[in-house]
């Protein structure tokens, strides 16, 4: 049996960086056949059709079929994994409320189509921004699908945080563990090094030897660098993060399906953990066990960390309230 994977926005940049790696087995494993459904809006169909031609030319052993459509019911029919990448970007003169409203108009109907058409084991990774609130809208619109089948991508932020630590500590990135992202995938996010280790040793101790006052470095250098890395990439590359975002999407979904041996980060629906209001999609330290995200509980948070998390969660509350005022939730 092949796994059916629906990718929205498949004709866009992240879509193009995702498709070939998925077809090569990087997401679900090199023994798993895949069927791809590329869901686009009419203006994006040509891009998706072109990618489908190239997928054909890739002659991937694992790729059973590729279907391109602009019809959500067809796109999500029988899907086991959905990657919701397509979203409405902020246009000139668009306020935040307009952006949330435009995306509610995408993620609400997609949530409903998933409820109507997807397979009973569907898992939905939301990438399109504002990812946390888009996931909240999709989950709330998908009647009958458990809310824990929706999660939002914050793995790119975690990868960025681990890479920054590896650079300053002059250590391999693989040796940096337990750097969860809390809150929103936005500039308010909190990349948390409190429990992080480098080669098994506390990162905080290693940082103290390298950067002087650690809190000053975290506040003045590390957190802004991680939180604004997307803008830095745009400035240097002249275009937004694409391959790194696709890589994080693949890692997030792979870990969700296959399980983790240690913590990672994902935006998941809160059940009140760490005082995050129930129902919000907030990033937490998580593990994946038996195909389900589990929030790592019982971590001590000092006043500073608490304040940072509260600020990011307040932004999520504000986004939810804006969407509620539109009558979406």
Find the catalytic residue in 30, 185, 195, 252.
Answer: 185
Instruction: Report the C-alpha gap between 201 and 26 in whole angstroms.
Output: 31
Q: Quick one: 35 or 160, whose CB is closer to ligand NAD?
A: 160
* Residue 272 in tokens: 């009140």
Instruction: Report the C-alpha gap between 229 and 269 in whole angstroms.
Output: 25
Minimum Å gap between C-beta 269 and ligand NAD is: 16
- Residue 238 Ramachandran class (φ > 0 left, ψ -120 to 50 alpha, else beta): left
Q: Closest residue (Cβ) to ligand NAD?
A: 12
195 is catalytic: no
Cα–Cα distances (Å) from 283 to 27, 41, 95, 189, in that order, read 21, 29, 24, 9
Which secondary structure element, helix H or strand E, spans residue 17, and what is its range?
helix 13-23
Which secondary structure element, helix H or strand E, spans residue 287, and what is its range?
strand 281-289
Minimum Å gap between C-beta 201 and ligand NAD is: 29
Q: Which residues of 72-103 are buried (b: 16+ CB within 10 A; e: fewer)?
A: beebbbebbbbbbbbbbeeeeeeeeeebbbeb
Q: Quick one: 137 or 207, whose CB is closer to ligand NAD?
A: 137
Q: Quick one: 156 or 313, whose CB is closer to ligand NAD?
A: 156
Q: Quick one: 45 or 204, whose CB is closer to ligand NAD?
A: 45
Instruction: Report the C-alpha gap between 211 and 250 in whole angstroms.
Output: 33
Residue 171 exposed, middle or buried by CB count within 10 Å (0-12, 13-18, 19+): middle
Minimum Å gap between C-beta 303 and ligand NAD is: 28
Minimum Å gap between C-beta 265 and ligand NAD is: 11
Minimum Å gap between C-beta 213 and ligand NAD is: 30
What are the residues binding ligand NAD (CB under 6 A)?
Answer: 8-9, 11-15, 39-41, 43-44, 47, 85-87, 89, 106, 127-129, 131, 153, 156, 185, 240-242, 245
Q: Quick one: 128 or 183, whose CB is closer to ligand NAD?
A: 128
Of the candidates 118, 54, 53, 50, the residue with the CA atom closest to the CA atom of residue 83: 118
Task: Enumerate the active-site residues.
Answer: 185
């Amino acid at each position: 049996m092949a796994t059916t994977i629906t990718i929205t926005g498949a004709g866009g940049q992240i879509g193009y960086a995702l498709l070939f790696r998925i077809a090569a087995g990087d997401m679900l494993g090199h023994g798993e056949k895949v069927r791809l459904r590329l869901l686009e809006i009419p203006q994006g169909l040509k891009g998706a059709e072109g990618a489908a031609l190239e997928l054909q030319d890739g002659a991937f052993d694992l790729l059973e079929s590729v279907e391109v459509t602009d019809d959500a019911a067809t796109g999500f029919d029988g899907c086991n994994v959905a990657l919701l990448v397509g979203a409405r970007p902020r246009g000139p003169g668009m306020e935040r409320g307009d952006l949330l409203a435009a995306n509610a108009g995408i993620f609400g109907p997609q949530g409903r189509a998933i409820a109507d058409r997807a397979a009973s084991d569907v898992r939905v990774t939301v990438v399109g921004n504002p990812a946390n609130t888009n996931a909240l809208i999709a989950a709330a619109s998908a009647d009958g699908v458990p809310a824990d089948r929706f999660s939002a991508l914050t793995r790119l932020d975690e990868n960025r945080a681990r890479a920054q630590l590896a650079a300053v500590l002059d250590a391999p990135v693989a040796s940096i563990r337990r750097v969860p992202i809390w809150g929103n995938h936005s500039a308010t996010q909190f990349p948390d090094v409190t429990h992080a280790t480098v080669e098994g040793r506390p990162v905080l101790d290693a940082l103290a030897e390298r950067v002087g006052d650690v809190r000053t470095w975290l506040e003045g250098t590390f957190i802004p660098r991680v939180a604004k890395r997307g803008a830095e990439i745009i400035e240097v590359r002249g275009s937004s993060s694409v391959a790194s975002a696709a890589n994080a999407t693949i890692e997030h979904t792979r870990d969700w399906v296959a399980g983790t041996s240690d913590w990672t980060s994902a935006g998941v629906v809160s059940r009140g953990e760490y005082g995050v209001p129930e129902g919000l999609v907030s990033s937490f330290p998580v593990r994946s066990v038996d195909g389900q995200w589990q929030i790592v509980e019982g971590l001590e948070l000092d006043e500073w960390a608490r304040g940072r998390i509260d600020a990011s969660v307040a932004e999520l509350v504000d986004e939810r309230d804006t969407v509620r005022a539109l009558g979406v939730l």
